[in-house]
Structure 1
Amino acid sequence: MGKSWVPRPWSRLGRSAVEAALMLDEVVTTLGRCELDPSTRLHTGHRLAATVPIEQIVGSVARHGDFDRDFTPRRRELRERRDHLATLGPAVTATAVALVRVGELYFVEDGHHRVSLARARGQLALDASVRSICTVAWACACLTRGDLADKAAERDFLAEVPLPDPALRQLWLDDPAGYGRLADAARAWSDHAGHTCPDPDCVMDTAAAAAWWDLEVLPLARVLADLARGRDTDTTGEPSPADRYLSTLSAPASEPRPNRDPGPAEAGDHT
């Protein structure tokens, strides 16, 4: 939706109580691993040096239940080990940690106590060695364990409508039950536009999915956003493009869908 689009907070849980750190396996299983991508192999992959925002380090590769999402140790012996680490000086505490990146989230592979200590000291970033895992659904920075069921519905939708990466950041729905209607709309548009598939049960190809998003969803969502801003100048927490588009599918027959500006991208034949 451009720079004016302000997404509403994603998590349904809020942060009144700090939950346990996310586990890499549960998140990757829920989001779905990308196929045919070497970075999806959990114990291999090219590492890159990076400086990572500490607030995006929210999980662990293997240490279940030892730390919360803010990397506060959850047992006394772990707190004591972190406190001992603080006495060892920068030669130890400043050593780069090993992380796994999934979308905007990072999971600790090695260096849990260094992350915990940095958090306690109020550091904003850490030097790290990072490898990435590709997932079907996007992992936003505010993802919590309570959101995983919704992300599973998004993953299933993307298995049918394989949108390109830029669209994934705008895909979320307030009600995940809407993904079925969204998939039906994508297939109907694709058929109407001439993106035919020889097998009636086949998945849309990526070109057809991208065309539906760019030529149908985004233009209509922009029109609806402009209409809404004409009535209310507060854009905080406004719907995502996907939610705006879905609202037109749910509108009563007496309410015609707003005319959309096709824009320059539709000047050619996309069939």
Structure 2
Amino acid sequence: MKRDTGFPRADAEHDFLRARRRQVLSRLATWLRGEPDDVNITLPFDEVVAALGWAGQRRLGLRVVKLNTIVGSVNREADFDRRFRPTSGRVRQRWERLAVASRRGESIPPIEVYRVGELHFVIDGHHRVSVAHALGLDTIDAYVTEVRTTLDPSGIRHRGDLIVKDYRRLFLERVPLTGEARASVVVTDPWDYAELGEHVEAWGFRLMQDEDRFLDRTTVAARWYSDEYQPVVRMLRQADLVGTRTEAEAYLWVAGERYHLMRNHDWDDDVIEALRSRRR
């Protein structure tokens, strides 16, 4: 809770020490819970955009931004944690100077951010964001540049999520699904995207051999989804073989098991019965 004794400089010093204490306690709590180290790390903008794929940008101008949507930084990741609490005393002098100005009601310039989906990444104004958090504010004025990405940025919570996004982006470059197909083929383990990509490419190669003609990646992806993936997933649902997996994970598992059991790529009732028995 914001302390207000009427002495802005003393209160600003207290604000900084409280923010530092909370940052240290947060790191300790993360360690005690056995959570990954990156849950409290400010997300690096360059890594996020690299994982999602840059598709363009446009200047939106001055906006009011919710502080809890500011999760990352362009170049100051080490100085502040995910909640923009200072990680050391290195930023103290400037931090307290801004806190004093804010408490005195002086005009504070807007920050500058990139917007990716509903997330914001600070270009300029890290200290101002940190002070605003410490003073209990909910919003801050910001000049916003919106960055469009190939993949939807939803679901990013911490740095480890970028690995999944990056592998999904690479998978969709190899298997350019669109529309409903693009949204429905999802796995949770990033390595599964690599395995699934190889599987689809192998399926496409067999298709081209069967039809004796070349097919581009977009055509192969569409044919694989309609001729292979959807029928197999329907069979898996009917046979109650999806379980707790995503449908794509169930497909990947059963496709591998089918080949190990039958040594072919055909689908029939014998395959399903063999897989059902193997699951038991």
Instruction: Report TM bin, short chain.
Output: 0.5 to 0.7
Structure 2 vs 1, CA of residues 255 and 125 (structure 1 numbering), >3 Å: closer, same or farther? farther
Aligned to 1:134: 148
Q: Is the 8 A contact 2:38 2:159 kept in 1?
A: no
Distance 1:176 1:88, change over 3 A: same
Instruction: Map 1:10-89 onto structure 2 (within 5 A).
Output: 14=35, 18-34=39-55, 38-39=56-57, 45-89=58-102
Which letter does structure 2 place at the counterpart of 1:23?
P
Q: Distance in 1 between matches of 2:137 and 2:234?
A: 39
Cα deviation 1:53-76 (Å, max 9, x = unaligned): 433322111224221222112231
Q: Please say which of residues 157-166 and 211-220 is displaced more in the overlay.
A: 211-220
Asked if the contact 1:23/1:61 (under 8 Å) is kept, the reply is: yes
1:27-71 CA-partner distances (Å, limit 9, x unpaired) = 22333323xxx42xxxxx322554444333221112242212221
Gaps spanning 5+ residues in structure 2: where?
Answer: 1-33, 262-269, 274-280
C-alpha displacement of 1:160: 1.2
Matched, 1:243 2:256: no
Larger proportion of helix: 2
Distance change (3 Å), C-alpha of 1:135 and 1:17: closer
User: What is residue 153 of structure 1 aligned with on the other side?
Assistant: 167
Residues 39 and 158 of structure 2 are in contact (CA less than 8 Å); yes or no, is this contact kept in structure 1?
Answer: no
Deviation of residue 155 (structure 1)? 2.1
Tell me the TM-score normalised to structure 2 length: 0.59
Q: TM-score, normalised by structure 1?
A: 0.60
Q: State the structure with more CA Rg.
A: 2
Work out the CA distance in 2 between the residues paired with 1:21 and 1:140. Answer: 16
Higher relative contact order (CA 8 A, sep 6+): 1
- The one-letter amino acid paired with 2:107 is V
CA distance in 1, matches of 2:118, 2:226: 23
C-alpha spacing 1:242/1:124, structure 2 compared with 1 (3 Å): farther
* Aligned positions of 1:96-135 closer than 5 A: 96-135=110-149
Distance 1:159 1:60 in 2: 27
Q: Matched residues in 1 for 2:251 and 2:68: separation?
A: 32
Q: CA deviation at 1:170?
A: 5.9
From 167, 190, 194, give the equivalent of 1:176: 190
What is the deviation of 1:99?
1.3
Cα distance in 2 for residues equivalent to 1:179 and 1:138: 16
In structure 1, stretches of 5+ residues that fail to align are: 1-12, 40-44, 232-237, 258-271
Per-residue Cα deviation, 1:48-107 (whole angstroms, up to 9, x for no partner): 5544443332211122422122211223142442233222235535x5432112344321
Change (3 A) 1:255 1:71: farther
Q: Aligned pairs, how many?
A: 225
Q: Distance in 2 between matches of 1:100 and 1:168?
A: 26
Alpha-carbon distance between aligned partners in 1 of 2:133 and 2:238, rounded to the nearest angstrom: 41
Structure 1, residues 191-220: CA drift from partner, whole Å, max 9, x if none?
Answer: 96xxx99756x4x23x87578668976797
Q: What is the rounded CA distance, in whole Å, between the counterparts of 1:191 and 1:49 in structure 2?
A: 54
Displacement after TM superposition at 1:162 (Å): 2.5
The 1:181/1:126 distance shift into structure 2, 3 A limit, reads: same
1:92 and 2:98 matched: no
Identify the residue that residue 42 of structure 1 maps to in structure 2.
none
Query: AA paired with 2:249?
Result: D
Shift of 1:15: 5.8
Looking at structure 1, the residues matched to 171 and 158 of structure 2 have their Cα atoms a distance apart, in angstroms, of 20
Change beyond 3 A, Cα 1:123–1:226 = farther
Matches of 2:181 and 2:132 in 1, distance apart?
34
Residue 272 of structure 2 is matched in structure 1 by: 256
Q: Is the 8 A contact 1:217 1:241 kept in 2?
A: no
How far the C-alpha of 1:179 sits from its partner, in A, is 1.5
Distance 1:91 1:23 in 2: 31
Which residue number corresponds to residue 7 of structure 1? none
